[in-house]
Chains A and B, each alone.
Chain A
Amino acid sequence: MIYKILENLDKRFGVEEAKAHCDIPCGIYDPITAQIAALTVVRMIDLMVDLDKTHPDKDVAFYNSIARYVGVKEEHAEKVKHEIRVIWGDYMKAQHLEKYPDAHALVHKIMQLGSKSRQTADRETAVQLVEAVNQFAQIFWETKNVATKRAKAPYAPALELVYPNL
């Protein structure tokens, strides 16, 4: 009876959880997934542009390939947004945000660039998305006191990424 009342309260208002944590600890966060997803967005735009240049005859195969590229671009732009939201929401704590007060604005920028990357095939927007995610990665590794380095990704589109310097 009392449990039922509390359960209803929880459903209606949301009772805060207290974790009796037991298992492999969470804490496995890494912005590299978002960085690779952002690179993929650029790559898909490059593939679309190349295909358009090399296929003057817009046949069914052409549209099929473009549709696939667009689909992957959509998926990965959304993945960027998801991965960043998880780190921002689950990993970053008050003390991190006090130290990096611009993180909120940066996350908002990533959300907007991610959306714009879905809406358009503008390479410059996608490159900006990669860079914004790099800046987020930089902050993330700094919160863990892990040094970073910038290096070109060893695959197309070979843009610079922020990596932990382990």
Chain B
Amino acid sequence: MLRLFKVKGDSLVPDYREGDFVVIIKIPLLWFKLQPGDVVVFRHPEYGTMIKKIEHFTPDGESVFVIGTHPGSVDSRRFGPVPRRDLVGRVIWHVHKPGA
């Protein structure tokens, strides 16, 4: 149901920084709907487990276009939309690294 992840990398700076912890609620869940702006954890075949922000949904609703906030972010602009089945969960709790 819930899972803990540690953020690695700075593509979501300044909202999320390396070393932050996030708790996600696993997908699929019936009682919530993903929305643009949600931060999600997903599995990517090349890059592994990633965390990004949903920018929009593809017209067919089957995939999400994810982005980072940093200009150098590696995200859907590079590897395309992420299929819903590859989403692990949505961030519901964010614990900042002290001093970051």
Q: Is B12 an interface residue (CB 8 A)?
A: yes
- CB contact list, B72-100 vs A, under 8 A: 72-75, 78, 95-98
Complex-state Cα separation, A3 to B99, whole angstroms: 11
Q: Is the CB of A20 within 8 A of B6?
A: no
Q: Is A15 an interface residue (CB 8 A)?
A: yes
Q: Is B18 an interface residue (CB 8 A)?
A: yes
Q: Is B25 an interface residue (CB 8 A)?
A: no
Closest to B72 in A: A22
B32 CB, nearest partner CB in chain A, Å: 19
Proximity string of chain B (6-42) to chain A, C-beta cutoff 8 Å, 1 when within and 0 when not: 1111111100101001100000000000000000010
Complex-state Cα separation, A60 to B16, whole angstroms: 61
Contact A20/B45 with A3-B96, A25-B74 known, Cβ cut-off 8 Å: no
Closest to B75 in A: A21
Q: Is the CB of B51 within 8 A of A10?
A: no
Contact A25/B78 with A6-B21, A15-B4, A19-B9 known, Cβ cut-off 8 Å: yes
Residues from chain A with a CB closer than 8 A to the CB of B7 are 17-18, 20
Residues from chain B with a CB closer than 8 A to the CB of A18 are 5-8, 22, 41, 49-51
Contact A17/B4 with A3-B95, A22-B10 known, Cβ cut-off 8 Å: no
Q: Is the CB of A15 within 8 A of B9?
A: no
The number of chain B residues touching the other chain, given as a range, is 35 or more
Closest to A14 in B: B6
B77 CB, nearest partner CB in chain A, Å: 12
Q: Is the CB of A19 within 8 A of B45?
A: no
Residues from chain A with a CB closer than 8 A to the CB of B50 are 18-21
Q: Is A23 an interface residue (CB 8 A)?
A: yes
Q: Is A2 an interface residue (CB 8 A)?
A: yes
Q: Which of B6, B52, B74, B78 contacts A16 (CB 8 A)?
A: B6
What are 9 A-B residue pairs whose CB atoms fall within 8 Å in the complex?
A: A2-B95, A3-B95, A9-B4, A17-B49, A18-B5, A18-B49, A20-B8, A23-B9, A27-B47
Beyond A3-B95, A6-B21, 6 extra complex contacts between A and B, CB < 8 Å: A15-B6, A15-B21, A17-B8, A21-B47, A27-B46, A93-B46
Chain A residues packing against B (C-beta within 8 Å): 2-3, 6, 9-10, 15-23, 25-27, 93, 95
Give the top 3 A-B pairs by smallest Cβ distance, nearest first.
A22-B11, A18-B51, A20-B9
